[in-house]
């Protein structure tokens, strides 16, 4: 089955800095890679996703890049703000499963 | 429209008691998932329902855990003879499954925080 590794587990940045979270996956058949943001006391919410037919996708301050050859994908947040503080999860869905595999999460702390 | 709702939001129970957790998915979503999230941990898959197909129970940790989905909508996760290690946040998610398998966005509920004393 699929295995997703996520790093770092904790990331602390100053407001205005950029933050990068990286995930690697094992199944070359994976074709869908969502990122979720989980605020304290809430369920995860999708913030951006990418499919295997593109290498990069941007949405305002958030971008995701995908390297299928190396089997890794990354979340980039620019101009971080305190409200970006949350736990971020990556996930990968392989071509034969209805069940995505999640990374263990990254706790992002943005200091004002 | 309304998102995924879960009830109760918090549940405190004594070891050995049974508990039922409820999930109301987004109307029209055919796929429903249950996950468990222990403190500071990732999402542990428990069970998956898709339409009228037999559920995928491969993530259930023991036979004390069961789930059903009535009428293709509301789902109930039941934990029998609860143990302290069952303490966690139980998350439900639904998905429209309108696209390719495994590629649809999951919409999560707020979770039920279960504490077993």
Please state the rounded mean pLDDT for residues A97-112. Answer: 91
- The answer to whether residue B71 neighbours chain A at the CB level (below 8 Å) is no
pLDDT at residue A96, rounded to an integer:
62
pLDDT score recorded for residue B40: 73
Average pLDDT, chain A: 93
Contact present, A90 and A82 (Cβ < 8 Å): no
A51 CA to chain B: closest CA distance, Å?
8
A-to-B residue pairs, Cβ atoms closer than 8 angstroms:
61
Across the range A72-92, mean pLDDT stands at 97
The Cα A5–Cα A23 span in angstroms is 5
Strands B10-13 and B112-116: parallel
CA dihedral over A84, A58, A3, B113, signed as positive or negative? positive
Task: With a cut of 90, say whether residue A103 has pLDDT above it.
Answer: yes
The stretches in chain B having pLDDT less than 70 are: 1, 98-103
Residue B55 structure tokens: 């559920």
What's the pLDDT score for residue B101? 59
Q: Which of the four pLDDT bands, split at 50, 70 and 90, describes residue A19?
A: very high
| pLDDT for residue A94 | 72
- What does chain B come to in residues? 117
Report pLDDT for B2. 81
Q: Which of A36, A41, A99 lies closest to B48 in CB terms?
A: A99
State both tokens at A86.
């949350």
All residues of chain A having their beta carbon less than 8 Å from the beta carbon of residue B59 are 99
Q: Which two tokens stand for residue B100?
A: 């390719």
Choose the mutation target among B5, B54, B106, B111 for the interface with A, i.e. most A CBs under 10 Å. Answer: B106
């Amino acid at each position: 089955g699929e295995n997703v590794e996520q790093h770092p587990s904790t990331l602390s940045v100053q407001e205005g800095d950029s933050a990068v979270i990286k995930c690697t996956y094992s199944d070359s058949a994976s074709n869908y890679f969502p990122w979720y943001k989980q605020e304290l006391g809430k369920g995860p919410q999708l913030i951006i996703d990418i499919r295997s037919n593109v290498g990069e996708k941007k949405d305002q301050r958030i971008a995701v890049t995908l390297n299928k050859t190396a089997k890794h994908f990354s979340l980039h947040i620019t101009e971080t703000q305190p409200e970006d503080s949350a736990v971020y999860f990556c996930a990968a869905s392989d071509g034969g499963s209805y069940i995505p595999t999640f990374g263990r999460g990254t706790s992002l702390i943005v200091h004002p | 429209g309304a998102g995924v709702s879960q009830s109760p939001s918090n549940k405190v129970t004594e070891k050995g008691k049974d508990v039922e957790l409820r999930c109301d998915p987004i109307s029209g979503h055919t796929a429903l998932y249950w996950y468990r999230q222990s403190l500071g941990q990732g999402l542990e898959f428990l069970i998956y329902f898709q339409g009228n197909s037999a559920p995928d129970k491969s993530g259930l940790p023991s036979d004390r855990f069961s789930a059903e989905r009535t009428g293709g909508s509301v789902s109930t996760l039941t934990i029998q003879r609860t143990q302290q290690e069952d303490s966690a946040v139980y998350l439900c998610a639904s998905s429209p499954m309108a696209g390719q398998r495994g590629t649809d966005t999951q919409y999560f509920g707020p979770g039920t925080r279960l504490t077993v004393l």
